[in-house]
Amino acid sequence: MKRRIFALLSCSTVACAIGYSGTAHAGSFALREQSTIGLGQAFAGASAGAAGLGSMYWNPATMTNNGGLQIGADLAVLFPYSNVTPSAGTSSTLLYLGGAGSSGDIGGDAVLPAGYVSYQVNDKLWVGFGTNTPFGLSTSYPTNYAGQIYARDSTVRSIDLNPNVAYAVTDWLSVGVGLQAMYFKTELTRAISPFPYAPSAKLEGDDWGFGFTAGATIKPFEGTQIGIGYRSSVSLTLDGDLALGGQLGPLPRGTYPIGADIDLPEQLTIGIQQAITPQLTLAGQFEWTNWSRLDNIPVVGTTGQTSGSELTSLPFHYDDGYFVSAGLDYAWNDKLTIRGGLGYEWSPITLDNRDLRLPDSNRVHASVGLSYRWSEQLTLDFAYSHIFAVGDGDISLTPGNPHYVSGLPFMADVDSRVDIVSFGLTYRFDTAKVTKLVTK
């Protein structure tokens, strides 16, 4: 048994390591697509157990809903589209040198895997393990583009190893805690000048950081489950290099070792599931992410003459992010369950701080999904979600925007959307029943 569990954990970890590059779809460069079941109802009730095994990502206490030994694997395929077209107000110099044409699709398609194991030790104690990719970003502009001095390529990658433990205090109260061990890497490039085929400045750095997860589930009434989950901030000291393909200000061409301290945002979620009939369950979710932690991040030289000097900075100046959703889950028969949900997201990125690397905006999430119980042990899941950009998603790199380059304003219209398809499976190694919400 121990060998089998270890092999499953190893496979899920390798899967995440292979596919941990992605494009952000949860406000800024966060990724929410950690569960196929959760995606199918726009993550409504995810922290209250509505996302199946994947709910441990939001709230480790939800493991007490799962009997025996279970494993889950999820694979989301993301098809983002974002097109940036320069508009009136853009510097004539940028338009002359880079052209007035649109960027074309800057978003890179991505595969996002997640894996989970949950084991019931006894009537009170559960242990589990999750592998996830909490953060990711991939955008790329043409080599010669009007906005190349602001951005060319941007990449964020991460992998999170998350052992958890949960304890059923009473029949109506469970608590859980977990460890986050996260690897994070970023690579950012931009042109040194607006001239065609200008050399690039490339900033890259990586680090391992640690945090924790915690949560509780409460069942105050028959058919009701409330979950509160918390994912802590993870502090990183990114070590890497600033590589200049040409002179940039006082810095000559060359490679400069750098360091940058960054605190990734913590997240609080509150979810609820309410059984209306034995077949129908409604769910809701609220999410707060402390993106305002990311203000201005100095990038400092670490060796030689530049040691201790600020070489550049990452001026995020983010607001906090919020997300709400509502969904339903309907057992059509003993084999088939269908679900759906709607969500609305307030992005931490607005017209005041939006740039070319991540032209994010407020969004509406519309999702559908289903589960098919293939056997007593195996359940297959499928979900589809479409994300609509809403509100003012345009770019205004003018005085006041922290990314503005003096004398080179850049204005643009942005057309964005995302399609997500997710596949998952859950396998249980015994036939003990999973805890369900019921009504009389």
Side chain identity, residue 201: A
Looking at residue 269, its pLDDT comes to 98
Beta carbons of 348 and 337 less than 8 angstroms apart = no
Beta carbons of 364 and 322 less than 8 angstroms apart = no
Q: Would the pTM count as exceeding 0.95? A: no
Looking at residue 4, its pLDDT comes to 44
Looking at residue 26, its pLDDT comes to 63
Burial 166-202 (b: 16+ CB within 10 A, else e): bbbeeeeebbbbbbbebbbbbbbbbbbebeeebbbbb
**CA separation for the pair 71, 13 (Å, rounded):** 13
Residue with tokens 């009007």: 146
Share of the chain above pLDDT 70, in %: 92
Give Cβ neighbours of residue 319 (< 8 Å, ≥ 6 apart). Answer: 291, 292, 348, 349, 350, 353
Looking at residue 2, its pLDDT comes to 42
**CA separation for the pair 31, 134 (Å, rounded):** 5
What's the mean pLDDT in 312-338?
Answer: 96
> For residue 179, is pLDDT > 60?
yes
Side chain identity, residue 100: A
Q: Is residue 436 part of a domain?
A: no
> For residue 15, is pLDDT > 70?
no
How far separated are the first and last CA of the chain, in Å rounded? 38
Instruction: Dump pLDDT digits (tens) for 58-105.
Output: 999 999 999 999 999 999 999 999 999 999 999 999 999 999 999 999
Confidence of residue 436 (pLDDT cuts 50, 70, 90): low
Looking at residue 129, its pLDDT comes to 98
Looking at residue 178, its pLDDT comes to 98
Looking at residue 177, its pLDDT comes to 98
Beta carbons of 35 and 74 less than 8 angstroms apart = yes
Listed residue (227, 120, 131) closest to 178, CA to CA: 131
CATH number at residue 210: 2.40.160.60
Looking at residue 434, its pLDDT comes to 46
Looking at residue 6, its pLDDT comes to 39
Instruction: Dump pLDDT digits (tens) for 133-161.
Output: 999 999 999 999 999 999 999 999 999 99
> For residue 438, is pLDDT > 80?
no
117 to 6, 121, 159, 437: CA distances (angstroms): 10, 13, 17, 22
**CA separation for the pair 64, 24 (Å, rounded):** 30
Instruction: Dump pLDDT digits (tens) for 384-419.
Output: 999 999 988 899 999 999 999 999 999 999 999 999
Q: Is residue 434 part of a domain?
A: no
**CA separation for the pair 349, 297 (Å, rounded):** 16
Q: CA angle, 193 as apex, 187 and 194 as ends, to 5°?
A: 105
Count of domains forming the chain: 1
What three-state secondary structure class fits 12? helix
> For residue 10, is pLDDT > 70?
no
**CA separation for the pair 30, 27 (Å, rounded):** 6
Which residues constitute the domain of residue 230? 2-428
> For residue 17, is pLDDT > 70?
no
> For residue 430, is pLDDT > 90?
no
Looking at residue 25, its pLDDT comes to 54
Residue with tokens 């999973």: 434
> For residue 342, is pLDDT > 50?
yes
Q: Is residue 433 part of a domain?
A: no
290 to 33, 141, 269: CA distances (angstroms): 19, 29, 12
Q: Is residue 439 part of a domain?
A: no
> For residue 354, is pLDDT > 50?
yes
Phi, then psi, of 437 in degrees rounded to 5: -80, 135
Between 85 and 3, where is the model more confident? 85
**CA separation for the pair 212, 381 (Å, rounded):** 28
Looking at residue 28, its pLDDT comes to 81
> For residue 5, is pLDDT > 90?
no
**Residue 179 half-sphere exposure toward CB, CA atoms < 13 A:** 6
Rg of the chain in Å (alpha carbons): 23
Looking at residue 249, its pLDDT comes to 85
**Residue 287 half-sphere exposure toward CB, CA atoms < 13 A:** 33
